[in-house]
Amino acid sequence: MPRNDDVRFTSSSLKIPLNPPKPSPFNFPFGSHIAKTRNSVAQLVDSVKTRPEFKQFNFSRFWNRLAESTHFAFPSRDRRTASSIGRSSLLCSASLSLTRSAESAQSEDKKNERLLFIPKSALLCSASLALTRAADESSSSSQKGLNPSRGDEERVLISEVLVRNKDGEELERKDLEMEALQALKASRDNSALTVREVQEDVHRIIYSGYFQSCIPVAMDTRDGIRLVFQVEPNQEFQGLVCDGANVLPAKFLEDAFRDGYGKVINLRRLDEAITSINNWYSERGFFALVSDVEIFSGGILRLQVSEAEVNNISIRFLDRKTGEPTTGKTKPETILRQLTTKKGQVYSILQAKRDVDTVLTMGIMEDVSIIPQPAGVTLENKIASKESHMVAAAFGQTLQEYHYEMGCAWYDTGKVDMVMNVVERPNGGFSAGGGISSGITSGPLSGLIGSFAYSHRNVFGRSQKLNISLERGQIDSIFRINYTDPWIEGDDKRTSRTIMVQNSRTPGTLVHGDQPAGRSLTIGRVTAGIEFSQPIRPKWSGTSGLFFQHAGVYDENGFPVIKDHLSSPLTASGKIHDDMLLAKFESVYTGSGDHGSSMFAVSMEQGLPVLSEWLSFNRVNARARKGVEIGPARLLLSLSGGHVVGNFPPHEAFAIGGTNSVRGYEEGDVGSGRSYAVGSGEMSFPMLGPVEGVFFADYGTDLGSGPTVPGDPAGARLKPGSGYGYGFGIRVDSPLGPLRLEYAFNDKHAKRFHFGVGHRN
């Protein structure tokens, strides 16, 4: 078939489309703003850009037939373009662009041209074809009074539509031929087509994802014009190489490409696989993405993954009032050792958030935030304030915009610097308060306790805490000194250490009841010891300690006594005081930490008879709690129990009954024994604002162990040993903590109000 030498290209251009991935839940949209990181995908379609067939794009017969029946007139700029290239009866301008849909739309609107947009592909091209003609031809057409606006709408009859390879021969794989034919919409045998419709079908074939290139060629046959789409299929996928993926699981990568092995590479499926990898990173908060894609001969696919490595971590102290950088009192290493993010790791915003929470739980910081920035970039003139949303304002932009820029900037260096902004709390001071003692149930001030304390949260700038407190009530008094190092220096297990000295006096009514003639007994204890605590695994912690205790019973005048008015012994040794050295072990599961969440704790105390007069006994105690949401209501189930073996003071027996045990009874009135078990169920429901209602039922028993306590104080006071209570109440969330007001009935048909501050033990 003779060529039409009047057909030429005025332009041939390629760009790669980079649709943004789905927005990250952490506001790091890596897609549109960092399009350059995926431009290397152009290698997948480089053959389209360089193929000689494009320079031989032959639409000659099609254009000639179209020219014979149509005259064209174009705006002056088109005529100038045509005339500047040369005299031609018909000049074809073809351009291929790989820009995103929205960008292309805006550009084409400016040019008053129509363009078909194929969305949701980052690896596919779209083609636009336009016809121009030389100035003399345009002028001639204008003299004939033809309407220029109808040029692109003229149709040419196509007798046959075929799909062939780049050499014009049948495709070896018929399934690929069918894919191309099924992609066609307008181009059918015995159809009348416009240039635009042919162009759109070229787009559809390319958008199928199976082909590197598609060239429409029109040729004359004796049956009419035959339209041939010459395509070049992609290679078959035979292997995968992935570089730079340090945290991406190999199995996830294999699963993403498993279905493609041995099949022709589909660029759409490849784009979906790349998107799934990028989504895996963004869902886990990692600064990472697929930055480069190549296909080597033999169908080997190479992915280059860029993961932002933590380059440096620094602490910056901000003033509480102005937000300006200042000098902190906390040593930076005290904060840095709390962070799980380390230099050389892949930066994760989720891990950074956990680090922020960890630093806040130290109790010495008022506010903590982490600002990631590309390695080597300083923030000297960019003030990060106390609140995270104000961090963005300090940069003169929204937080999302800042994260957006971060997504682009870290890729230039491949590394991220972490700047942790911290605002310190006041180190400490004096405080006063009050509370309720559960040991006193009668009297004009019924258990009211006043307290006075001094605390320092950050001794020596190492987050070490000193607390000195005094609590004084009608009978109760507790003087306590605690010194806590939350992380022993040089220890890699996050072990804390607490040194404690305490002198307390508590009512003896829990076990021994009220004394006659207005007399009362108090239990005096002097305790000193050291305790170590360490996280065992997530949500589990372990504690061990060694304490010395000197305890005795005193009358209302402060004189020591060894027997009550029933001649029951008050000490285990028969002396004025009992001395004991206690080794303590405890393990606690805390769930989410909320009161309604699951909790389990088990503890053991062992008396060590280092001296013959020191007591030897073993005490085990366990508590469990489980919360269940039932619509707007919440069911809270709790169970506790314990047992003591050996020689122990009677006042150390397990007391049952009262506000934190079996409601409906006074404190300790159910029983006191070597063993005990108490179960409770509460159904709470919201009422109004901070107020919620509650129904409850409790049951407690000493498991028949009351008579085994030295002197049998429960039996001497006719305590039943077991009992239950039930009732209703309200909870009020207050600045002092939850306030509990409850009205309870017991199995003895008695009624009683209970008032408490804080959650039940």
Domain residues for the domain of 178 are 156-233
Q: How confident is the model at residue 584 (pLDDT cuts 50, 70, 90)?
A: very high
Report the first-to-last Cα separation within the chain, whole angstroms. Answer: 96
Task: Please give the average per-residue pLDDT across 514-518, as a whole number.
Answer: 70
Residue 30, pLDDT above cutoff 50: no
Both 416 and 438 in one domain: the answer is: no
Q: Is residue 17 part of a domain?
A: no
Both 545 and 638 in one domain: the answer is: yes
Both 650 and 660 in one domain: the answer is: yes
Per-residue pLDDT tens for 648-696?
A: 999 999 999 999 999 999 999 999 999 999 999 999 999 998 999 999 9
The angle that helices 76-85 and 135-143 make with each other, rounded to 10 degrees, is 140
Both 562 and 654 in one domain: the answer is: yes
Task: Please give the average per-residue pLDDT across 161-178, as a whole number.
Answer: 92
Contact 626, 637 (CB under 8 A): yes
Both 490 and 448 in one domain: the answer is: yes
Q: Give the pLDDT confidence score for residue 612 in this predicted structure.
A: 92
Scored b (16 or more CB within 10 A) or e, 519-529 reads ebbbbbbebeb
Task: Please give the average per-residue pLDDT across 419-440, as a whole number.
Answer: 79
Both 441 and 590 in one domain: the answer is: yes
Which residue, 233, 256, 278, sits at the end of a domain? 233
Q: How confident is the model at residue 149 (pLDDT cuts 50, 70, 90)?
A: very low
Both 524 and 540 in one domain: the answer is: yes
Per-residue pLDDT tens for 109-144?
A: 443 333 333 333 334 433 333 333 333 444 443 333
Both 351 and 229 in one domain: the answer is: no
Q: Return the residue matching tokens 């108490």.
A: 678
Q: Is residue 151 part of a domain?
A: no
Both 385 and 512 in one domain: the answer is: no
Number of domains in the chain: 4
Contact 531, 498 (CB under 8 A): yes
> What does 563-593 look like in DSSP terms, one character per residue?
B-TT--BSSSSSSSEEEEEEEEEEEEE-TTS
* Helix or strand (DSSP H, E) at 229: strand 224-233
Which residue, 194, 210, 233, sits at the end of a domain? 233
Tokens representing 290? 């697929």
**Between 113 and 309, where is the model more confident?**
309
Cα(22)–Cα(390) distance, rounded to whole angstroms? 26
Residue 416, pLDDT above cutoff 50: yes
Q: Is residue 16 part of a domain?
A: no
Q: Give the pLDDT confidence score for residue 605 in this predicted structure.
A: 97
**Residue 486 buriedness (CB in 10 A; 0-12 / 13-18 / 19+):** buried
What pTM was estimated for this model as a whole? 0.64
Q: Is residue 89 part of a domain?
A: no
Per-residue pLDDT tens for 189-208?
A: 999 999 899 999 999 999 99
Going by the DSSP 8-state scheme, the letter that residue 347 receives in this structure is P
Cα(755)–Cα(727) distance, rounded to whole angstroms? 13
**CATH code, 410:** 3.10.20.310
Per-residue pLDDT tens for 703-712?
A: 999 999 999 9
Q: Is residue 49 part of a domain?
A: no
Least Cα distance to 657 among 544, 748, 565, 552 occurs for 748
What order of strands is seen across the sheet that includes strand 300-307?
239-243, 300-307, 288-296
Both 334 and 262 in one domain: the answer is: no
Both 640 and 709 in one domain: the answer is: yes
Both 312 and 300 in one domain: the answer is: no
**CATH code, 617:** 2.40.160.50
**Residue 629 buriedness (CB in 10 A; 0-12 / 13-18 / 19+):** exposed
Mean pLDDT comparison of 45-59, 398-412, 657-671, 731-745, highest-scoring range: 657-671
Which residue, 255, 272, 306, sits at the end of a domain? 306
Least Cα distance to 509 among 667, 318, 643, 724 occurs for 667
Task: Give how far the C-alpha of residue 748 lies from the chain's centroid of Cα atoms, to the nearest Å.
Answer: 52
